[in-house]
Amino acid sequence: MGAYLLRRLLLAVPTMAVVYTVAFLLVHATPGGPWDNAEKPLAPQVIENIRIKYHLNDPLWKQYLLYLNDALHGSLGPSYVNTARDVSEIIADFFPVSLQLGVVAMLFAVGVGIPLGTLAAVYRNTAIDYAAIGVVVTGISIPNYVMATILVTVLAVYLHWLPTGGWGGIWDVRVIIPMVAIGFRPATTLARYLRTSLLEVLGQDYIRTARAKGLATRRVVVRHGLRNALVPIATISGILVADVITGSFFVETITRVPGIGRYFVTATTGRDYPVLLALALLFAVIIITMNILVDLSYAALDPQVRYG
Amino acid sequence: MPEDRTAFPWHDYYRRGLITRRQLVKLTAMIGGAAAVSSVLSEPRPAHAALAPAAKQVLRYPNVEPLHFDPATMESRPEILVGMALFDPLLTFDDAGKAVPVAARSWDVSKDGLTYTFHLRSGMQWSDGHPVTASDYEYAWKRVVDPDIASDYASAFYPIKGALDFNKGKTKDKNTIAVKAVDAQTLRVELTDPAAYFPRLVSTWNYLPVPRWSVEKNGKKWVEAGNHVGNGMFMLQKWDHDREMVIVANPKYWGAKPTLQRVVFTITDDTFRTSLPAFENNELDLTDQIQPGDIDRVRKDAKLAPQLHKYRWSGTAMMFCDTTNPASPLSKAKVRQAFYLAMDHKRLATEVLRGIYDPAPTVTPPGTMGYLSTPPLTGGVAKAKQLLAEAGYPNGKGFPEMKLAWPKLVTYDLVAQAMQQMLRDSLNVNITLQRMERKEYNAAFNSWAKQPYTAFIDRWGSDYEDPANWANILFDSEQDFFHTRWKNAEYDSLVRKGSAEGDPAKRRQMYESAERILNTDLPAIPIYHLGVIIAVKPTVQGFRLPPAAAAWYGTFGRVKILAG
């Protein structure tokens, strides 16, 4: 297990290098630069001063090495757009918020998705199953930012039950709308996969044996069925978690959550190269970590899986 | 302009009970005095209404996350709006265009118009208790021009002797910049050429002072709450990045203390999308971010409609034409004139843009010297067809492909499509539309010579309401900020003389003549003048945004919260 983990971590290094290089080339290939931030045209000398200050007149390879050198020495540099702040500060400020929101959204997804998928499988082809499938189809069809807009309009503007947005941590009432908006789609994805997986497991001989032995349905489903049905779910969960943490740009904007997602959008539109590079690396770390965790979770769920 | 002004929906507002008869009469009477429109449109409040207690003198306002409040590099609306409350300029301008002393009690101009001497008030303090001196202004102004600061607005200091050379790096000696604190209360500035608009420049945010000791102690972190020091009516108390920011009344302020004690800025990325729902849910006391798509709904809402107020913003959206590209039909003045006359400005403003903006028959907006109340070109579609035929395209026949580009903005999207339709219907010509991301647009724009577009839609807003901020920067053939490559010797001569002319009457005459040339030859075809619709809770009294950003000084000082 330890050797396996070490091997995976070592493999992550070249992956990160590739991500970094590709991201560097891509952000520099897009038209416009940080000096194009202003809505008004700038005097030529002003643009020249900005280019000199941020080494933008240097050849691309030199800029690449400059960034790399700084990054290897633990400095992500100053933001080009938000000149008063360093990239590491920005990430330290905003990433924990996205992480917290992602975690509660995922808990919501699991809390709703697992029972929903289980009910749909157990009550196959009944009204409960059809209702569950209806919820699943809704979840898959509605993008999270549309869901956020609907929730804000209904729960805040019309009913005045909740604030329209903001952030006060995971125990604050303002977490509800973004949590549901972000978590709803993964919840239905989990439910859909779990229904299929559980139906397959429930058709297995050992389940029939368990039933024949007179075990209660709940015990058969939860004890014997669910555990095995969760193996394929673990696979998609890794992707879902990474997606939830990194892919909530628009929900964060609509619900005024100060997360890293919307900073990513700001950095992209602002051509804030150092921030974009740092975020590309951060997101790569999240995805790699989730992949490793998923692989490790197989061992916990399926005793036949061994690492070494 | 009278015809267009009549189109403004005041009568409709009156019919629906949104404004009183008295206001309607006032508004109508002031059609010609657009500078006063904003104050008249501010909401009616019973004069006797009781004020809320001091603890409730709080205004909740949406804002985009500012980058910082460093006068050297402040440039966007969220920064300027707050920055003008945190610092005192030497002077400002009132709605009538009269200079009003703020930190300077007076100033003198030498006979040749080249030397300005500002005399500061005595006894002023920074929010941390340091005395405010002329050196603070000297330090701040020289700092903006420092190439290491790389300020976008360094060019606003180029009229000062030595500033351009220092900004270009030709010299490293800051003392070559002709700004000097003669003593603690006196600041002297020398210009390269006479510039009648210099006091207007001085009223802008980049000319605000800076606390040297805090900058030197905290480096770039001096802009954070806790380190930030200002000399304005309010001071920065809290700044939770991307969440919330609070400014509070500055107890050390030299002037009259504001009634409003705190402004709480809810920070959001997308004020257009998020602030109206928050306003409706009573999380905000006002919002100035209502998009055209929401206007009809809000106007029909019995509760919201009376809370809406419209203000003029000094700015114009235009179609900037490449006037020299021989492959482009827009290189012919008659085609530009035909386009101008074929466009129904009134319909564009009232129907397409839902009355948020006003029709723009001329380039320079009302309130700025040079503004023409009647456009020089008239004749409508019939004349437009005639001009197009004279240009060699009778009934649009043989009209070459023309590409119109613009940076992504909902109002540009709407007007571009409407213009395409109008030109097709009235002149039988087709234009190709290209919407771009702002950065992509700016990149194309900055490499104008190589880009394939024949015209751009963009806008210009007044930093300060002076023709130098319009005629000289945008259309002087040597400045040509929008790359129209238009050259008119008479125009150049008029605006260059105008910028230096000290006699206001002569100056006005020069700029009006220049404006007549501009609006006849039309290197830029005006589309709409800017405006803003603001929703304000009935308990908020006195809020208004002057039409140019430099005049936002004092915005929060005017606000009072009524007991509600």
Q: What is the pLDDT of residues B45-102, one digit of tens each?
A: 555 679 999 999 999 999 988 989 999 999 888 899 999 999 999 999 998 889 999 9
Average pLDDT over residues B237-265: 95
The DSSP letter of residue B365 is P
> Residue B109 to residues A99, A216, B188, B469: CA-CA distances in angstroms?
59, 97, 10, 21
Chain B residue numbers touching A153 (CB-CB < 8 A): 277
Asked if A221 and A187 touch (Cβ cutoff 8 Å), the reply is: no
Q: What is the pLDDT of residues B295-312, one digit of tens each?
A: 889 999 999 999 999 888
Q: Hey, how many other C-beta atoms are within 10 angstroms of the C-beta on B287?
A: 25
Chain B residue numbers touching A254 (CB-CB < 8 A): 270, 273-274
Closest-CA residue of A relative to B243 is A258
Chain A residue numbers touching B273 (CB-CB < 8 A): 253-254
Structure tokens at B138: 């000297």
Q: What is the pLDDT of residues A76-119, one digit of tens each?
A: 778 887 778 888 888 888 899 999 999 999 999 999 999 999 99
Chain A residue numbers touching B242 (CB-CB < 8 A): 93-94, 258, 262-263
Of B67, B150, B158, the CB nearest to A81: B67
Stronger pLDDT, B269 or B447, i.e. the higher one: B269
Residue B286's H or E segment, with its range, is strand B286-287
Q: Which of residues 255-284 of A touch B (CB under 8 A)?
A: 255-256, 258, 262-263, 265-266, 269-271
Q: Hey, how many other C-beta atoms are within 10 angstroms of the C-beta on A289?
A: 16
> Residue A29 to residues A32, A148, A261, B25, B159: CA-CA distances in angstroms?
9, 33, 22, 58, 37
Structure tokens at B251: 């107890």
Residue B38 has a pLDDT of: 38
Stronger pLDDT, A229 or B123, i.e. the higher one: B123
Chain A residue numbers touching B282 (CB-CB < 8 A): 160
Q: Give DSSP secondary structure letters for B204-229.
A: SGGGS---HHHHHHHGGGGGSTTT--
Residue A234's nearest CA partner among A182, A144, A296, A305 is A296
Asked if B322 and B455 touch (Cβ cutoff 8 Å), the reply is: yes
Return the axis-axis angle of helices A227-246 and A273-301, rounded to nearest 10°. Answer: 170
Residue A303 has a pLDDT of: 64
Q: What is the pLDDT of residues B387-396, one digit of tens each?
A: 999 999 999 9
CA B62 to chain A, closest CA, distance in angstroms equals 11
Are A167 and B243 inside 8 Å of each other by CB? yes
Residue B25 has a pLDDT of: 53
Are B440 and A31 inside 8 Å of each other by CB? yes
Of B154, B243, B267, the CB nearest to A46: B154
pLDDT < 50 regions, chain A: none
Stronger pLDDT, B27 or B196, i.e. the higher one: B196
Residue B26 has a pLDDT of: 53
Residue B324 has a pLDDT of: 86
Average pLDDT over residues B545-560: 93
Of B67, B277, B438, the CB nearest to A164: B277
Of B155, B240, B481, the CB nearest to A46: B155
Asked if B275 and B281 touch (Cβ cutoff 8 Å), the reply is: no
Q: Do the bridges between strand B560-561 and strand B234-240 make them parallel or antiparallel, or are there none, so unpaired?
A: unpaired
CA B26 to chain A, closest CA, distance in angstroms equals 36
Residue B20 has a pLDDT of: 53
Using 50, 70 and 90 to split pLDDT, how confident is the model at B16?
A: very low
Residue B41 has a pLDDT of: 40
Residue A204 has a pLDDT of: 81
Residue B265 has a pLDDT of: 96
Lowest mean pLDDT among A166-180, B16-30, B172-186, B218-232: B16-30
Structure tokens at A145: 């930012």
Residue B76's nearest CA partner among B140, B153, B148, B137 is B153
Instruction: Catalogue the long-range contacts made by A229-233 (C-beta closer than 8 Å, 24 or more residues apart).
Output: A229/A121, A229/A194, A229/A197, A229/A198, A229/A200, A229/A201, A230/A194, A230/A197, A230/A301, A231/A197, A231/A298, A231/A301, A231/A302, A232/A193, A232/A197, A233/A190, A233/A193, A233/A194, A233/A197
Paired residues of B190 in beta bridges:
B115
Mean residue pLDDT of chain B comes to 89
Q: Which of residues 439-498 of B touch A (CB under 8 A)?
A: 439-440, 442-446, 460, 481-482
Average pLDDT over residues B320-347: 93
Q: What is the pLDDT of residues B402-445, one digit of tens each?
A: 889 998 888 999 999 999 999 999 999 999 999 988 777 877 77
Residue B4 has a pLDDT of: 29
Paired residues of B524 in beta bridges:
B320
Residue B153 has a pLDDT of: 87
- Coil, strand, or helix at residue B460? strand
Give the list of residues 6+ apart from residue B330 with CB closer than 8 angstroms, or none.
B321, B322, B323, B336, B339, B402, B454, B455
Q: What is the pLDDT of residues B465-519, one digit of tens each?
A: 999 999 999 999 998 888 888 999 999 999 999 999 989 999 999 999 999 999 9
Question: Is B9 a residue whose pLDDT tops 60?
Answer: no
Structure tokens at B438: 């702002």
Q: Torsions phi, psi of B534, nearest 5?
A: -115, 135
B480 half-sphere exposure, CB direction, 13 A CA radius: 18
